[in-house]
Each structure stands twice: as structure tokens, then as C-alpha cells.
Structure 1
Amino acid sequence: MKPKLKILIVDNQKINRKILSRFLSDFYEIIEAENGRSALATLRSQKGTISAVLLDPIMPIMNGYDVLKEMSKNPEMAAIPVIVISQDNKEDSEIKALQMGARDFISTPYNPKILRRRLSNLIELYQSNLCIGHIERDTLTGIYTKDAFYRHATEILGSNPTTPFTLVATDIERFKLVNDSFGSATGDELLQYIAKILQHDSLQLHGICARHSEDHFMILVPKCADDENMHSFIDAAQKELNQFPLNMKISLKFGVYLIKNLQTPVPIMCDRALLAAESVKGHYEKSYAYYDDSIRQRLVREQQIIDEMKSSLEKNRFQVFLQPKYDLTNEKIVGAEALVRWTHPKLGALNPGEFIPLFEHTGFITELDEYVWNHTCEILESWNQKGLPHIQVSVNVSRKDIYQENLPEIIWNIVKRHELQPSQLHLEITETAYTENAGQLISVVNELKKIGFLIEMDDFGTGYSSLNMLSELPIDILKLDMRFMNSIKKGALQKNKHNILEFIISLAKWINLQVVAEGVESKEQADFLCKLGCNYAQGYYYAKPMPVDEFTKLLNNSDIEIPSIPPNC
């Protein structure tokens, strides 16, 4: 037997509640409340189960009009049909009740058949709307789905052509890592938590909110989002997000699209807001961006780079260039750094500063690094076969490479295949790799040291754990961050930067490390570094990165010095 729907009768007069109950109890399950406060408590405790409310407007403690006012503040309660039942048949009372959200108004004496018919019609409409609502709602978060958002946003914009609206896309930074590290159940809880925050904030601004895709949310608000408003909105959302119980920093990235042309379809508006949000992912100092066409152009260019990276690797379009390193005391060549160059088939020669960060983001950097290691070892093997000096060449090991458990084995196999000694291939790691995952880096570096590789710490001085890192990592060489070189200009070196540079070089000497300065562009810089005791330098003052053939000629025509670098085990 199908269970009866529940009806809430709210009247301070017991006799009135009994009369209405007698009319309706054969068709509905009756719940009674004697005042407005009790009625609201019942609606909250019976959440989602009350199909209609019969409400007396005149009651002690809390009257029916106040009940309607409170129900209107809650989206779920506001949807429940309310029939105001009153002994007052004045037109003003009926208008007031209907204005405050009542669906119907019936005055005494009640006609049971009419009352039941009106109630049945309202409940049928309510349930139809509930079905539509369920279809429109995301099953996990309870907020609008993407398609429902498109539909409602289109209706809202069409109905308010003179009102300024803003579309805001939200993206969760490193959401995949949450699922990988803590499980999909925790990831789902995080999505629900964020949806609740954004739903509340959008309602406060009289807007709507949706889950657009897995970890993307969309908000439409009737307001121009200037910097001050965006800062307030983001700060409030991030503050609430920080309360989520997870042993990991979670941050949101926002893309803002200011709606100026109502003829633009809502899905395209959403795509543009998402492009703006995507543009600040990985930028820790920025949490939001406004969409403009330069973002679209940049992301189109990035996609062109991504589309060609694998085929370019297969077709050897990436080239290894070498930049020599010099001894600062006698200006003899002591080694080189292998750098990658790429001529894109459509975009031409690309700056590594453009494609390397993108490759790190996609994970392709691990394939490119292995390609460079192989080609560098081929070059070293060729030099050995020609009887050239066994100079040492350094190659980059990216942060992503460190997460490969078999990294030492991969590099060792490449070196063996080309009949090289590990000491000929220096491995450059970055300080940021230590700050991201110190334990993993220490473990990998120890394994590489056991094999016989020499380790260079690249970009030293950019992080926050430098001194602690030096005590834990068995490195051999420090490479100073290029930004130190930028400060060494005639009359421009600040005293505090001078002191820091002098301290780093002295510290390196004290713990038996060699120091390399990169980015040296003038004799003044070279002389200053030599005076401080820096060992080696590379930069445009000495030579630019060059193709292998050109570097080989340089080796044949230059004085070479093979440095003796004692392993710092």
C-alpha cells in the first residue's frame, strides 16, 4: 500500500486543527503544530517529507506571516506549498499572504471537497517541480548541473538585460592529488563542502551556482566584480575552505568573466571563465584572473605546443645545446651544461622558459629529460672516442623525475650503455624539489651518489629551506640563482645582497662544496665573483649555449682544465 503524503496543519486553535484533520486524514498523514515556532521546528526535523502546509496567519508566539517570511529564506522550505486558512476573509489579508509566498488562501467556512481539490492540485504541482529539481541537481553536491545552469543563466540574463552580471568559474588546485592521496570518498566530501560554501555565497549575492564538471564550479551573480569585491569573495571562501579537515593545503582558483554581450551563449561565457581560472593554476601568488582575449590566445598557443611535443620527440626535433663553464681564476673551460632547444614545426624557435614549465605541468618533462640524458651521453661517448678531454657535462633532473622510484637505475643504464663513468655526467636538481618532497629527494640523491654521480644544486637561494637542505643532502656543487647576477651591476649591488652572496660562497667553501655562478654577463660580475671565491661561471660574457658541433670546435681550440671535485658524501 502506498504511504500517505504528510500535511502539516498549523493553528493555535485545537478545534480548528481537528476539523481540518477530519477533512483530510483519509487521504493524508496529518502532523499538527500549535504555533509558528513549533511549525518551523517540525519542518526542519521532517526535512523533505512535508508535502504541504495549512497555516493560520493569526497565532501567538509566532504568527503565520512570520512563518512565511522564515520559510522564504530556505530554498527547500520555500518550495513547499502553503495554503493560508483564515476566519478573516478580507481581501488585504489574502493579498498579504500571497505576496509573502502562500500558494492559496481559503477562508471559513471550509468546503471539504474544494479544500481537498486545491490541496491535491498544489501537491501535484510541487511534486512535479521536485522531479524537475532532482533532474536539474547534481547527484553528489545538490547544486545545479551544468545543463541546468546554462538554462537558468540564459533565462536570468534574458529577463534582466540592463543589469550587470558576472560569471565566476572556480577550479580546485591539485584536486587529483586529493583523490590519489586520500581516496575518492574524501575527494567527494571536499566537493560537497566546497559546493555548500559556493551555494551559500552565491545566494547571499542573489545569484545561482552549479557544478560544471568534476572539480569545476560556476557562479552567476548580478554584480560587477571589481578587485575589491573579488578579494572579499575569495577571502571568505578560502577562509571557510581552510576549515575542511584535511592534512593538505587546498586552494581555489577563480576565473572572472564580465558579461558585456548578452548575445554570447552562456556555454561560451563559461568556457571563457574557465580559461581565466586555468591561467592562474600553479601560480601561488595569484588566486583569480579576469578573462580577456590574451588568455585565449595564450592557451591556444600552449595547446599547439602540447599537440606537437610527442611527435617532435619521436622525430628528434629537440636539440641538445651546450653552454661552457669556465674557471674564474684562469678562464679555462672546465665543463658544460646541456640545455634543450626546440624549433616547433608551426611556431618556430621557442624559448625554453615557455615550453619547459608547460612540460612540467603535463608530466612530459620526464620523457624530455630522458631524451636529453641519452643525447648528452652520446655526445660524451663521441668525444671519448675522438680522444677529446673527458670534460664533465651537467644535465637537468626535474622535480617530476624525482618521483620515479627507479630513477637511479634509469640514469645508470644510460651511462653504462654509452661506456661512460658516472662522474662525467653531473646531475642538476633544483632547491624547490627539496621543499616539495624532502624525503623522496634525499633518498634518490643518496642512491645516485652511491653509483658515483656528482650532484649539483641548481638555483640555490630561491627557496626557504636552504641551510637545512645543505645539512641533509649530499650534494657536491652549488649553482647560484641567476637573480644574484642581476644584482651585480655597476654601483647597483645592495649591501645586503652582497652580504648574502658572500655568506653563501663562504658557507659552501666551509662544507667543501664547489660554487658555480650562472647568468654571468659582464667582466665586472666575473671579477666580483672571483674576488668572493666563487669557483666557476657560465653566461653570455663567456659564451652562449651553442650546437654540439660548434662546442666541439671550441674544445679543440681551447685550453681545458678538468676540475678535481671531491665527492661530498
Structure 2
Amino acid sequence: MSENSSQRWRGRYLNAAHLFVPVQLQQDAAMLARAENVVNAALMAATAGPLYALAYWLLGLRMAAVEVLACCVFMLMAPPVLRITGSIVAARELFLCALFFNFTWLTWYLGGIHAPTASWLITAPVVAMFLGGVASGIFWLAMSCAAAAAIWAMPVFGLPMPATPQVDMPLLHLICDLGLYVVVLVFVLLFELTKTEGFVKLEQAFSTINELAIRDELTGSHNRRHLMGLIDREKERSDRNARPFCLCLFDIDFFKRINDTYGHAAGDMVLRSFAHAVQGQIRGTDAFGRYGGEEFMLMLPETPAPDALVLAERVRKAIAALRCAGSAGNGAEITLTVSVGVAEYRLGEPVAQTIARADEALYAAKSLGRNRVQCHDDDEHLPVVPKVQEPKAGRRDALAKARGGLGRPLDGVQCDQLTGLLNRNLLRDRLRHAMDRANRNRRLVALLLLNINRFKEINDELGYEAGDALLAQAGAAVRGCLRDSDTVARWGGDEFIALLEDLSFESDAQVVAEKILDRFGLPLQVAGRECFVTLAVGVALYPAADCNLDALLKRADIAMRGAKGWGENNVQVYSGDTVQPQSERLALKNGLREALVQGQLFLEYQPQIDLLEKRVVGVEALLRWQHPVYGRIDPGRFIALAEETGMIVPIGDWALRTACLQNRAWREAGLPEIKTAVNLSARQLKEPGLAARVLAILAETGMPARCLDLEITEGMLIEDLAGNCALMNALRQAGVLVSIDDFGTGYSSLNYLSELPVDILKMDGLFVRRLGAAAGRGRSYAIAEAIVAMAHRLHMDVIAEAVETPEQLADLCAMGCDAAQGYLFARPLPPEQVAAMLARQAEESVPEVA
């Protein structure tokens, strides 16, 4: 039989078996395997039982034949019972009772312990092991041993035994022995069939996750994360072998115009066609992927810049010849052009710096008219700064530092003539691209508007030339405080703008602003004398509600003017109609200990809903701070400060103790028992004796260990895999549950996932938000479903975060997700509202949905 035919018949059999398995059991891989084995056992009874009854009948054992058929009827009732009741235990025990009685009676009837069916007593514990696991197998082994002992003891103690039938006993022994071999083999083969099917599904799930982890959903090329990993590995090889490589950054010209004119569907088609065309021009060893939006990155291993320019030019020409269909039915064709920035890796430099140079070259290509290839070090084709008179000392150094080692000059259209920094026109262009990238990458952009206080007094006292020299030095000083990937420009007069991209927290921008203020604590040398300068810094963040490019600039200006009113060297962050003082960060740092002592910290609890039983089964404890001056403070603003100061350890202990006490209070009030999830921070994980401290708090508060769920993010786990595994093993041995939080946004490595002693996997809201689309179940559904299937195969429960729509909930239920939390059910609630929800649930047996 061919492999395809074998798979086809196997599929048909499994489909038939699934008719007896309730839908709710099919959602869990382990439960499905158990249910399938009950059906397998019934199939074995249906095929083997009548044959043995016929054999007994032909040998003249009429009563034995009738008994075998009667027991077969009971065994065949197991699949219908499974379907009707949904209980694997009921169906399994019905089957095992009939099986056990059948061979116990036959052994007694056919002559006792020497009967040919005595060896068949082993089938009950063997089948029980497959159907119910170790506990069930041990129970029926004890029953079989007891039955064999009882049958042996009956003649010893003079109890009556039936007369031994007058049959050909050697023949009966042969039939029974052969039958035992065949039945055991058939059942093991059926079990192997269902097990193999489970492994096939698990392999498919792993394959789907691996594929989606490295591919861009739309274009099929590498996604940004995987591409950056390939570039990092190439950097390591290059540093070892002293063989540089090149990066080419592509940007489809006027892509927004294509979207606006022809629609987003046409824009998606253009991106796919572009990616396909580029892949047709590059070599097999090259790595090509989507960098974000309409930008793509090409990595050329062991390729010098001249060769990279040739290949990039070939790609550019291929794209210029590409024609894509426009809107459906209008017959229009879309023509494309692409601008390309090329940079060669310099041995030892960070990859981010190489990418920044490729980005600089791309900007140059676009500013020169687009549809061209520009190399970062290709001075022959780059615009040149016009020579101007340098009336001020030190201006050459300031210009060089302001350019940040870009490897090329800037032209007069791009460059501020006084400071050598970018001018406001190019700054607006870069800000527009930064905002687009922030939307794609879900990372913060910060705009810092810096104003030199009392600059007019400096001009009046020292003269305008000294003022110009001071501006040049100030610009260079700001540039020196930033990363290579950041942008600084002269906005006009005595104002500068710093553009910071790829930030994780709002506090990151404040840290940079404070670094700049620290630098200006040193004097600048102007006209042979020291000059101290103070700044007012306004910070505006993006993404933000109702904020476009002009609104962002205006917000930075409002914040800067507010900073001027607070005094010298001040930073303020735009926040609605008001701004907050630069001293906030320091005040929050210093106020954390006072907040813990004075009860400013409190917990809210977000319910977690079991999707099968539709009831609250747990809550996640979330830390909050009500500051007496700044009001309610977002955790993203103070958790990082608590980590920096080490206060996260006592705060974490307080949060754990408070959550445990609250859980006990709910139980003592007669409410249903639920679990409470508490997050552990990176700093807490590194503290010695964490496991002992957790267990001590459980003992102190009287909370059962089974009710505590400790959530740890992927990134923290992988930092010290061996140590964290030991920690989690110690906690789980005490009965504490352990969860992986925000799964899918960190490392998501299948290599370590199988090694971790974890009970629960929390699917990050990034995957949940993509579910429930009107277009149907696509790749987003597939990857979420694969995560659920993988977790179930690894015997983990799955909790989905950030569920907000009924459509998302429907998709999660369909893929068998165990539980969920999000605004669809309830926002984070104070303890008394959680208690009210649990009380209503106890009364109505229906979960509260907010």
C-alpha cells in the first residue's frame, strides 16, 4: 500500500472515530488522545469478541459464547456513552468493567487458574494503562491480581467450582494464546495510529510557528526580526574572517501616493510584486527581507561596496521595468521606482551603525531625485557642501562632530550653514519617516525641543560672532549626547531638536534629556572665555492620540515653554494641557520608598475567564500608584525606576503578600476558590532565596500554593535558563503554578520552551488583536492556533491576553484556548468589585462580563 493510500485510510478511520468524541474534548490534544483510545478499544472488542464467541460455540461451550457476546455489547456501549455524557472516565470504566468481568468469568468457568483464559486477565490493566494512565492501570492490575488469587483459592478452601468442560483443551489453549497475541498487537497498533497522528499535528504546529516566525506575512520575504538575526550572524563571521559585507536599504518611491490613488489592496499587491522581483535578481546566499512598511533590506555576504552597487543597480532597473495592475477593472498600470542606500560594514562597528549609514545614503538618494542607488562612501555621487567662510574658531570641529562621522558631507539644502546640523526641512522629512516606523514597529519616538536660556544676553554681551560660535558648540554638544541612530537638527535661532527613535519607555526620553543637561553643566569656550549655558527642554512622544507631525512639533513647543517657566535646566513632558517638571523622574525615584510605607501603592485585579465553562477561574494582580502630587501614575513610568533603585524587591514582596491576603479574604467570605497571578520582575528573579521567600509568604498568609500563579516573561527566563529552571522547579514542587507571560514577543525559542517547567503559557495581545478579522481565518489565526496546539501538546494551559471583541473570543474558543482576559470581560477591578463578580457567579453560575 502506498504512503498516500495509507494516510488516506488512516484519516478516514480517525474521522470516523471522532464522530464519538464530543467537540469540547477535541479542543485538548491530551483529552482527544484518551478519547480516541476508548474508541480503539471498543473497535477491538467489536472485531475480536464475535470471533471468539464463534470459536467457543463450535467447541461446544455455548454458555461461554453467550457470555462473550453479552460482554461485547457492554464494551460497544462505551463510545455512545462517551458521546452522550462527554465523560472519558464513564466510558472507560464501562469498557474495563465488561472486559474484566469477561475474562474473570471465563477463567472460573473453564477450570480455574489453569484455564486457557487465565493469562487474559492481564488485558484489563494493560488496556487501562492506555486509556487512563498509570493510576488506572495500577487499579485494574490490583483487581486482576485479586481475581486470579480468588480463583486459585476457591478449590484450596473447598469452595465449589464448575465442572471442567469436556473439550479439546490443548486446542483451546492454542486459540486463546494466539488470540491474546493478536488482540494486544491490534490494540497497540491502533494506539500507535492515534499517537502518530498527534505527533504529525505537533510537527505541523512547530513547522507553522517556525515559518511564520521568519517570514513577513504579506510578502513572504524574511521579516525584520529574522533578517536582523542573519545580519548579526554575518557580522560575527565578518569579524572573524576580516571579510566585510554590504547592506542595501530599499524604499519604494511615492508608495503613499500609490495607496491613496489605487487603494491599500493595490499597495499590498505592489509590495508582493516588488519583493518577488528583487528575489529574482539576487543570489542564493543573499538575505532579503521587509524592514518595515515600504522599506526592504538586502544583506550581501562577503561583498564589497563596488559589487554591491552593481547588484543594487540591477535591482533598480528590474523594478523600473516592473508593471503592476491598478484598481480592478480600470485597466491602469502602476509603474514603480525605488531608491537604494548602500553601506559597507566596517569591521568592529555595531550593525546599527551600518544600518544608519545605509539610511543616510537612502536619504541622499531620495533628496537627489529618487530612482537611484547611492553608496554611503561614494563621495563622487553625493551632494557636496558649498565652501563657506569660517569666521568662528572651532567651527570645523563642531561641524565634524555634528555630522557624527557620517562619512560624507551634507549639501546646503540639507545642512544648517552655521552648525553643520540638519536643517528644519530635512528634519521634518526624517520625523515623518520616524513616525511611520513607530506606527509599524509599535515603539516610541521622542521629540526633544531644546532652547538656550537667555541667549539674547550672550549676544548682547559677547557679540553676534561669539553667539554663533556658542550655537555651533551647543549643537555639537547635543549631538555628542545621542546615539548614532538619533537625529539632531537646528530648528532656528537658539533652538535645537533631537529626534529619538525606537524607545521602549517614556522614561528613556527623560534619561536622554537629563544626560544633555548634565553635559551643559560644563562650560562652553566662547571668545576665549568660559560660558555657562542652561537649557529648557520640552519632550513630546509619539504615537499619541490625535497627533500628526505638526501637532507633535507643537506639543514639544508647549512643553518647552512650560519648562522655561519652571526655571533653568528644566525638562517637561507634554501631557494634555499641562506638562510635568523635569524633577518628576527624580521625585518618583525618591518617592517609591515613601509610597510603599504610606500606602500609596495598591493592587487591581483583572479577571481571567475559563472559555469552556464560562466562569472566572483566576485574576491577575496589577500594581498601581496613586501619587499625592502627580496623581495616578502609569506602571510603565515607575516600574523601570523601581528596577533601577532596587525598590522592586520590597515592592514585589508587598504585592505578593497583598495578593495572597486578598485571595484568602475572598475564600473566607465564602466565594469560589480562584487563582491569583502575580508578575515577577527581572530584579526579583536575580535575588537569592526567592523561592524560600515566596513559600514563606504563602505560609504567612495561609494561601494554598495551588492558588498562586507566578508570571515571568520570556526574556527574563532565557537570561539564566539553568538557574531559573531550578527556581521554577522548586516552586512547582511546592504546588505553585508558573506562567510564561507575553509569549511570542520575546525569544519564543522552541529549543528552550520544552525544557522549562511551566504550567501556563500566556498568549500576548499582539496575536489576539489580529484575530476576528472580517476577511476570515488567515495566517494570524494559523499562528495563534499553532501556539495553542503546541502548548497543549506540552501539557500547558493557554491564557489569551487583551481580548476586546466577540469575534476574537469566537476565534479563541474555536482553536481550543483555555482561558482569556481583557476588556471584553472586565477591566482591572478593585477587590470589592471582584468579590461582587464572584458572588454573582456563585449565585447564577454565569461569569460576569463587563
TM-score normalised per structure 2: 0.34
Is the Cα contact below 8 Å between 1:435 and 1:463 reproduced in 2? no
* 1:488 CA drift (Å): 2.3
Once the two structures are superposed, the pairs formed by residues 5-20 of structure 1 within 5 Å of their partners are none
Please tell me whether the aligned partners of residues 324 and 337 of structure 1 are also in contact (alpha carbons under 8 angstroms).
yes
Partner of 2:632: 349
CA contact (8 A) 1:333 1:559 kept: no
Please list the CA deviations of residues 290-334 of structure 1 after superposition, one character each: whole Å capped at 9, or x if unmatched.
x98568114433233223221111111211111111111232111
Letter aligned with residue 310 of structure 1: R
**Structure 1, 295-304 or 502-511: larger mean CA deviation:** 295-304
2:671–2:842 contact (8 Å) kept in structure 1: no
Tell me the residue number matched to 2:828: 545
- Counterpart CA distance in 2 for 1:171 and 1:227 is 10
Quote how far apart the aligned CAs of 1:391 are. 1.1
Q: For the aligned residues, what is the CA RMSD?
A: 4.4
Alignment of 1:49-448 (within 5 A): 160-163=466-469, 164-165=471-472, 166=475, 167-168=477-478, 267-269=532-534, 296-298=571-573, 299-448=582-731
Q: State the percentage of identical aligned residues.
A: 30
- Greater relative CO (CA pairs within 8 A, separation 6+): 1
| Distance change in 2, residues 1:379/1:256 (3 Å) | closer
- Tell me the distance in 2 between the aligned counterparts of 1:478 and 1:346: 38
Counterpart of 1:428 in 2: which secondary structure? strand
- In structure 2, relative to structure 1, the CA distance for the partners of 1:157 and 1:378 (3 Å cut) is farther
- Change over 3 Å in CA distance of 1:318–1:225 after alignment to 2: closer
Residue pair 1:402, 1:440 contacting (<8 A) in 2 also: no
State the alpha-carbon separation in 2 of the partners of residues 328 and 470 from structure 1: 24
Which one of 757, 777, 781 corresponds to residue 498 of structure 1?
A: 781
Distance 1:157 1:308, change over 3 A: farther
Asked if the contact 2:621/2:676 (under 8 Å) is kept, the reply is yes
Offset, 1:335: 1.1
Q: 1:419 to 1:472 in 2, by over 3 A?
A: same
Secondary structure of the 2:724 match is helix
Identify if the C-alpha distance between structure 1 residues 365 and 492 changes in structure 2 by more than 3 Å, giving closer, same or farther. farther
Q: What is the distance in 1 between the residues matched to 2:702 and 2:844?
A: 22
The alpha-carbon deviation at position 159 of structure 1 amounts to 6.3
How far has the Cα of 1:158 moved from its partner? 8.4
Counterpart amino acid of residue 821 in structure 2: Q
Does the 8 Å contact 1:333/1:561 carry over to 2? no
AA aligned opposite 1:307: N
Q: 1:307 to 1:489 in 2, by over 3 A?
A: farther
Secondary structure at the counterpart of residue 335 of structure 1: strand
Give 1 or 2: higher helix fraction. 2
CA distance, structure 1, for counterparts of residue 647 and residue 844 of structure 2: 36
Q: Write the distance in 2 (CA, Å) between the matches of 1:462 and 1:561.
A: 38
Q: Deviations over 1:446-490 (max 9, x none)?
A: 222222211011100011243123122100000111112222253
Report the 3-state secondary structure (helix = DSSP H, G, I; strand = E; otherwise coil) of the residue aligned with 2:834. helix
CA distance in 1, matches of 2:603, 2:659: 7
Cα distance in 1, alignment partners of residues 495 and 635 from structure 2: 38
Query: Which amino acid letter does the alignment assign opposite residue 450 of structure 1?
Result: Q
Distance 1:399 1:156 in 2: 52
Query: How far apart are 1:339 and its partner, in Å?
Result: 1.2
Do the aligned partners of 2:769 and 2:808 also contact (CA within 8 Å) in 1?
Answer: no
2:811 matched residue in structure 1: 528
Query: Retained in 2: the 8 A contact 1:322–1:337?
Result: yes
Name the residue aligned to 1:512: 795
CA–CA distance in structure 1, aligned partners of residues 662 and 713 of structure 2: 24
CA distance in 2: counterparts of 1:296 and 1:417, whole angstroms: 45
The 3 A distance-change label for structure 1 pair 365 and 159 is same
- The 3-state SS of whatever aligns with 1:296 is strand
301 and 534 in structure 1: CA distance in 2 versus 1, 3 angstrom threshold: same
Aligned to 1:487: 770
Residue of structure 1 in register with 2:218 after alignment? none
CA distance in structure 2 between the partners assigned to 1:374 and 1:561 by the alignment: 31
C-alpha separation between the residues in 2 aligned to 1:360 and 1:171?
24
Q: Distance in 2 between matches of 1:505 and 1:266?
A: 63
Shift in CA distance, 493/387, structure 1 to aligned 2, threshold 3 Å: same
1:161 deviates by 2.6
Shift, 1:342, TM fit: 1.8
Q: Measure, in 1, the Cα distance between the counterparts of 2:621 and 2:466.
A: 60
What's the CA shift string for 1:392-421, capped at 9, x where partnerless? 111111111100111001111000011222
Alignment of 1:445-464 (within 5 A): 445-464=728-747
Per-residue CA deviation, residues 414-451 of structure 1 (Å, 9 max, x unaligned), is: 00011222111110111120233333322322222222
Rate the CA distance shift 1:227–1:411 in 2: closer, same or farther, 3 A: closer
Residue 6 (structure 1) aligns with: none
CA-to-aligned-CA distance 1:346-384 (integer Å, 9 cap, x gap): 111222233223323333222221111111111122233
C-alpha distance in 1 between matches for 2:604 and 2:780: 32
**Residues 157 and 470 of structure 1: CA distance in aligned 2, closer, same or farther (over 3 Å):** farther
Structure 2: stretches of 5+ with no match in the other structure: 1-460, 484-493, 502-510, 540-555, 561-569, 574-581, 846-850
1:544 alignment partner, SS class: coil
Amino acid across the alignment from 1:168: V
Question: Secondary structure of the residue that 1:520 maps to in structure 2?
Answer: coil
Amino acid aligned to 2:834: F
One-letter amino acid of the counterpart of residue 678, structure 2: V
> Quick one: which amino acid aligns to residue 328 of structure 1?
L
Cα deviation, residue 513, structure 1: 0.6
Q: Does the 8 A contact of 2:481 with 2:516 survive in 1?
A: no
Distance in 1 (alpha carbons) for counterparts of 2:533 and 2:726: 48
Equivalent AA in structure 2 for residue 160 of structure 1: A
Offset at residue 156 of structure 1 (A): 11
